[in-house]
Amino acid sequence: MASRDVEDEILRKWTPLILRSLLIVSAVILITGLVMMAVSTPNYYVERFHAAQSGRSHVQQEWAQMGRGAISGDAHSLLMIGLLVLTLVPLGRVAFTLILFVKQGDRVFALATGYVLAALILGVMLGRIG
Amino acid sequence: MLTIVGGLLGLALLAGFIGSLSGLGGGVFIVPGLVLLGHMPMQVAIGASLISVVATSAGASVAFVRDGWTNLRVAMILECATVTGALAGAYLAGVIRPPVLELLFAAMMLQSAYFSVTRQSDDPVPAGDKWCSRLRLDGEIINPDGTRSHYGVIRLPWGAGLMVLAGLMSGLLGVGAGALKVAAMDYLMRIPLKVSSATSNFMIGVTAGAGALVFLARGDISTAVAAPVALGVTAGALAGSRVLPYANARALRLLFVVILLLIAAEMAWRALDGI
């Protein structure tokens, strides 16, 4: 496949489709989470809001625990998943660019894009450590 | 709960709308909005703002990349610098005292206001320098009459240096640092303005995403604040982009720069009071 065709296929077809879908999914999850919290645990929301105001917003959840919570209908876990899906949008964008450079056989730019992708993943690890 | 969510949604909607109309981005308005009106500590406001920057840049950049305005090679080579700065910034944001962050934020607002009122150069060069040509960073733009014009790219090391600073600002203060990115590409690297803006927009989401992931993994994002803010800013930015073609952009930008300067003064005053 010619380089231009590869670019068209990846950038103009798949990237917008998947990234728009991720955006819509995250918005739906966030709205669902907020509605569920308003219905089931509005006091918990108010408590978390005041905790944030007083600088006590730190809540570190394991990913698996977050997933289990979301499945069982825990609104806080659902909101965390929604925010996580949202932050996956730039990650996805970089991943698609990496695929493009690899397909084009452009080693220097594949390496540069790989570094950016690795740095984004390192961000998660840094957050877990520090 | 509904009053709080409504208040946050309204604040974020306004910040996204003004940020989109002024071209300054939602981050410069959402952080002071949360700190001064929502009585939030800086770290909480920065975390929520980073998430909202990711959300707003996502929609726009998809269109820019699809329409071919983004120079992906320039974006990825410069993103190596911004993402490094953003990781350092997000890490430092967790340890720097809030009044110092507020003072830095006020300084960043002044910088943003300066770049907003100075005229962009938009004076492309026909050929790139040795480094940029070797990396094939040059590109083409499509003119209104359908013809194509070639542009060169110069001064990559200087541009990359400024991008580390832009990334540091993004991770540390929760903003997109778009004004600095566009200035570096347009003034310094002589990339055409529309390509600079589109490339900057692509980069903003990735840079903010790096910072947001550190905050999210560290458990420092308050879902109670970030969720309504992300939804409100996105809706506000979308509304702003619809109104923009019918608005007097220059007059609006000047008005918002005055507002920005007033908020910067308030933030600086608050910071100095706390130090």
Cβ–Cβ of A120/B206 closer than 8 Å? Answer: yes
- CB within 8 Å of A127: residues ≥ 6 apart: B90, B213, B214, B215, B216, B217, B218, B219, B220
Predicted pLDDT at A107: 92
SS3 assignment, position A54: coil
Give the domain range for residue B156: 2-274
Higher pLDDT, B60 or A14: A14
Please report, rounded to a whole number, the percentage of residues in chain B having pLDDT higher than 70.
93
Contacts of residue B38 in chain A, CB cutoff 8 Å? 53
Structure tokens at B29: 């308005």
Cβ–Cβ of A51/B222 closer than 8 Å? Answer: yes
Higher pLDDT, B178 or B118: B178
Higher pLDDT, B163 or A60: B163
Predicted pLDDT at B241: 74
Predicted pLDDT at B153: 94
State how many domains chain B has: 1
Q: Which residue of B has its CA nearest to A96?
A: B72
CB atoms inside a 10 Å sphere around CB A122: 17
CA distance A112 to chain B (A): 6
Higher pLDDT, A60 or A30: A30
pLDDT tens for each residue of B27-72: 888 888 999 899 999 889 999 999 988 888 776 666 666 667 788 8
Domain boundaries, chain A: 3-129
- Tell me the ipTM for this assembly: 0.85
| pLDDT beyond 70 at A5 | no
Cβ–Cβ of A38/B5 closer than 8 Å? Answer: yes
Q: Band of the pLDDT at B155, cuts 50, 70, 90? A: very high
Q: Are residues B208 and B176 in contact, defined by beta-carbon separation less than 8 angstroms? A: yes
Residue B48 phi/psi, 5-degree rounding, is -65, -40
Q: Band of the pLDDT at A113, cuts 50, 70, 90? A: very high
**Straight-line distance from the first to the last Cα atom of chain B, in angstroms, rounded to the nearest whole number:** 34
Residue B151 phi/psi, 5-degree rounding, is -130, 145
What's the mean pLDDT in B78-107? 90
Predicted pLDDT at A56: 77
Predicted pLDDT at B122: 64
What's the mean pLDDT in B106-130? 80
